[in-house]
Amino acid sequence: MNEVNTELKSWRGTPAKKAIQEFVATVTNTGGVSYVPPEERIAVFDNDGTLWCEKPAYSQLFFVIDRLKKMAEADPTLLDKPAYKAAYTDDMGFFATLYPDNMSMLAEIVYDTHAGMPQDEFEQMALDYLNNARHPRFDVPFKQCVYQPMLELLDYLRDHGFKVFITSAGGMSFMRTVSEEIYRTPRENVIGSNITFEFSREDGRVVLLRRPGLVQPMDDGPGKPVNIELHIGRKPIMAVGNANGDAEMLEYAQSNDGAVLCMLVHHDDDEREYAYDKGAEEVLQAAAKRSWTTISMKNDWRTMFTFQSS
Amino acid sequence: MNEVNTELKSWRGTPAKKAIQEFVATVTNTGGVSYVPPEERIAVFDNDGTLWCEKPAYSQLFFVIDRLKKMAEADPTLLDKPAYKAAYTDDMGFFATLYPDNMSMLAEIVYDTHAGMPQDEFEQMALDYLNNARHPRFDVPFKQCVYQPMLELLDYLRDHGFKVFITSAGGMSFMRTVSEEIYRTPRENVIGSNITFEFSREDGRVVLLRRPGLVQPMDDGPGKPVNIELHIGRKPIMAVGNANGDAEMLEYAQSNDGAVLCMLVHHDDDEREYAYDKGAEEVLQAAAKRSWTTISMKNDWRTMFTFQSS
């Protein structure tokens, strides 16, 4: 865990950094017309591709594939099912086609791999994976593939009285196992998609079992503002994302009456990370049309990952 | 709003107060075997009948009846429907039979009265009601019918590094309009039942519309632990309730391995509040069986309501 620093030192002195500093100065200026009291300083951040690396695939997808593989090793009859076979033979192409084109099969896989399991058992499994499995290119644990400038931004905001929430399209329980360690963000401030739970008892003790079926709505696209209202109950004054599924969240923040900061992380650095617009075509257009602040990873960030910072 | 005080001065020196003080001393004792770090000091409180008065009926029910009445005045053809007629003729007996015996009609009424409405409009309506409508017996606004000893307890816990959440079976959005003012508890720390939202746009701005249909599960009985996991992601170490619908929540907290405090508010003071066991028969039995700490409102509380405290 790196030291807390609130100087945004990994941000170059470009317009993106200035936009952040000016926005924060504006809403915290007690006498100003755009002053926002601390309880209303809500900032929401997408997770995959915004706070940490989402390529070559979501770390949660690697986690699920790892689980499919282990299940197939224990019970080879499972190899009759395409997903297990693809996992067993390291056929990443199979999984690449699932999101967002075949969500129902993706959901089925997620249920198959962890449904019926007590929640604390699932969490231990997720944590073990995130602690140990390594990113295929950077060769560090997935949980270390966090963008250093974003970690500094979270700290900077909290240092100025903001409440920071993570709004992931990915698994809420999955991310909560490491959110305190890697983002200094408490579990209850992580919103995401999740499968449902069933209240149950085992040996006289309460156990929450993971059940097939997603909590509605999934935390993506128009579901993000809905879940923000359900979990937070206030419209954010700052929203940061990187993909098409973040557009409605940024639009929602922008519908606030007062000062607002909407930012879009642009993956344009294939040397230090990855360069891609796929999955962000519409949100990049929306950013141009709505004057959202685009963050160029290549030009605006001095350091990329936390594991590279001094 | 009363001054913050963390001395529990409205609690008499009875076993209930001692149980609270000893529990808090135990889990905050840094060197002790039962020490709990601050991020895990989760305390959950039911709302109606635990933090504020729920008799002669839930304030939210009065709110709904008020709305039915206004709608019937504007459109007398609605008087053909039993609920509107009952509201118009002040027939409280009709509504008394709905919960918990006719939940589907109760749900229909709640949808009828506020579905299709933008969320911010609903919130303004709820806030206006809570600011102005008066309790029929105590003749103060409903929002002032808060138990002074409980307000002190919330402050006392926060002062010792606890995170306090409200877990209401009633409407989450309804309570959030006043939670900061009356409980010093931020909106995002209020969990409850709620109708669903739909993402929509009006004049180019994002609007969340209230839709018929409840977010599942309803925040009552076995739904309370499920929603605690969805909203907080951690098992509470302290849980306080007063009705049958709180039993699973207390049982859930008790399934923790370390030190735990489960408390049950017993309504036994018809002079200063109300005396009733109806709706609490099973949880009172569970409390005896499981050694939960019962709070006698009559014997353990020096002051009853915040509007009576000096």
Q: What's the average model confidence in pLDDT over B71-88?
A: 94
Helices (H), B172-301: 172-176, 179-183, 223-231, 247-254, 281-290, 297-300
Q: To the nearest whole angstrom, how far is the Cα of A251 from the nearest Cα of chain B?
A: 7
Give chain A positions within 8 Å (CB) of B186.
Answer: 39, 163
Q: pLDDT tier at A261 (50, 70, 90 boundaries)?
A: very high
* Dihedral in degrees, nearest 10, Cα atoms B64, B70, B71, B77: 120
Give chain A positions within 8 Å (CB) of B211.
Answer: none
SS3 B100: coil
What does the block give as tokens for A44?
Answer: 């929401």
Q: Is the Cα torsion angle B179, B184, B187, B191 positive or negative in sign?
A: negative
A213 vs B: CB within 8 A: no
Top-confidence residue, A102 or A261: A261
**pLDDT for residue B189:** 98
Contact state of A234 with B187 under an 8 Å Cβ cutoff: yes
Judged against a pLDDT cut of 80, whether residue A40 lies above it is answered with yes
Q: To the nearest whole angstrom, how far is the Cα of A168 from the nearest Cα of chain B?
A: 14
Separation of alpha carbons B30 and B268, rounded Å: 38
Q: To the nearest whole angstrom, how far is the Cα of A232 from the nearest Cα of chain B?
A: 4
Note the residue count of chain A: 310
Compute the half-sphere exposure of residue A189: CA atoms within 13 Å on the CB side of its CA: 21
Give chain B positions within 8 Å (CB) of A190.
Answer: 233
**pLDDT for residue A213:** 86
C-beta of residue B187 within 8 angstroms of C-beta of residue A231: no
Judged against a pLDDT cut of 70, whether residue A5 lies above it is answered with no
B181 vs A: CB within 8 A: no
C-beta of residue A63 within 8 angstroms of C-beta of residue A170: no
**pLDDT for residue A4:** 57
Mean pLDDT of chain B: 94
**pLDDT for residue A198:** 96
C-beta of residue A4 within 8 angstroms of C-beta of residue A151: no
> At residue A302, what are phi and psi to the nearest 5 degrees?
-75, -45
Contact state of A188 with B225 under an 8 Å Cβ cutoff: no
Q: Which of A176, A207, A226 lies nearest to residue B197, judging by beta carbons? A: A226
Task: For this complex, say whether ipTM is above 0.90.
Answer: yes
**pLDDT for residue B1:** 45
Compute the half-sphere exposure of residue B161: CA atoms within 13 Å on the CB side of its CA: 15
Judged against a pLDDT cut of 60, whether residue B298 lies above it is answered with yes
C-beta of residue B11 within 8 angstroms of C-beta of residue B24: no
Q: What's the average model confidence in pLDDT over B246-260?
A: 97
SS3 B118: strand
Give chain A positions within 8 Å (CB) of B232.
Answer: 187-188
**pLDDT for residue A64:** 92
Lowest average pLDDT, out of A43-47, A222-226, B192-196, goes to: B192-196
A181 vs B: CB within 8 A: no
pTM exceeds cut of 0.90? yes
Q: Which of B188, B226, B233 lies nearest to residue A176, judging by beta carbons? A: B233
Q: What's the average model confidence in pLDDT over A60-86?
A: 94
